[in-house]
Amino acid sequence: LNYRHAFHAGNFSDVVKHAVLVRLLLALLRKDKPFVVIDSHAGRGLYDLTGEEAQRGGEWPRGIGRMAGTAHPLLEDYLSLVHSAGEGRYPGSPWIARALLRPDDRLIACELHPEEFAALRRTLGADRRVSLHARDAWEALGALLPPTPRRGLVLVDPAFEAPDEFARMEQAVGRAVRRWPTGIYALWYPEKNAAAIAQLHAAAAAWPVAEALALSLPVGARPEPDRFGRRALHATGLLLLNPPYGFAEEAPMLLDRLQTRLAEPDAAPWRIEVLRRS
């Protein structure tokens, strides 16, 4: 567990992931029925962009730093939530989800790293709508699903430190969708390993969900590997299962605007692939 999201908070992947998360949550808020958000890899909840880690990471200026002055109806709520986190701060997924809960909605968040968990508890703990678990996400997904009420969203946002993270994701989410096939799921992954992504997409196409969409947003040309064979992240991926009504129609406009703000001119265009639609 070496990964610390504080080095990456507010980067382009966070912007894309959280802008989509807010659209999914707003769709759940359209109905007067309570929902549950399960955030399997929650992080610490709130990040200091002026702190040492964020400065050393140096990623947010090319992420949330490029969103200043953006005015677009599909980004308005996300940007105003970021603004409400305070000057020099960037909110994580559990903070964003909590900010949108109504009195009967719930958030269940898991975080395995002890220090990240302690920080998460300090940030979100004192709220009866929120349950925090210091437990392994992959094990928790099996135990926590299906939730009560059976309406809501699962965000799966691993650190991708372990070499078999794609396989673990496929296995755990494959089991989760069998237990709860009508939930909305949003899975984040780095766009580096084309074979691993193709395998995840093939699995998702066979899962018992109504719809599976793969979103891809490059922000630059694919970089050459460094001397250790590692590539910097140039594109962010999201797999959405059962996206709510209307999302597939608005997603092109959302990705278009995000790419306009976040990407260099040499980036390949964003893509949305329908992996399954029944």
Q: Least distance from C-beta 152 to ligand SAM, angstroms?
A: 16
Residue with tokens 């997924």: 93
Q: What tokens were used for 267?
A: 């980036």
In the complex, the smallest distance separating the C-beta of residue 218 from ligand SAM, rounded to whole angstroms, is: 19
Among 136, 191, 211, 250, which residue interacts with ligand SAM (rule: CB under 6 A)? 136
Residue with Cβ nearer ligand SAM (62 or 276): 62
Active site residue: 157, 164, 226, 266, which one?
A: 157
DSSP-assigned letter for residue 225:
P
Degrees (nearest 5) of the Cα angle 88, 92, 25? 125
| Residue from 11, 22, 27, 41 binding ligand SAM (CB under 6 A) | 41
Per CB under 6 A, contacts with ligand SAM among 146-205 are 157-159
Are 262 and 75 a contacting pair, CB within 8 Å?
A: no
Q: Would you say 5 or 66 has its CB closer to ligand SAM? A: 5
C-alpha distance from residue 71 to each of 80, 91, 138, 178, 256 (Å): 11, 19, 38, 40, 13
Give Rg (Cα) of the chain.
17
CB of 76 to ligand SAM, least distance (A): 20
Span of 36-44, 64-72, 235-243, 245-253 interacting with ligand SAM by CB under 6 A:
36-44
- Is 226 catalytic? The answer is no
Distance of closest approach, residue 266 Cβ to ligand SAM, in angstroms: 26
Tell the residue number behind the tokens 């991708």, with chain if given: 160
Contact between 116 and ligand SAM (CB under 6 A)? yes
DSSP, residue by residue, 150-201? S-EEEEE-----STTHHHHHHHHHHHHHHH-TTSEEEEEEES--HHHHHHHH
Largest CA distance in the chain: 54
Catalytic machinery residues: 157
Residues that bind ligand SAM (CB under 6 A): 1, 3, 5, 17, 41-43, 92-93, 110-113, 116, 136-138, 157-159
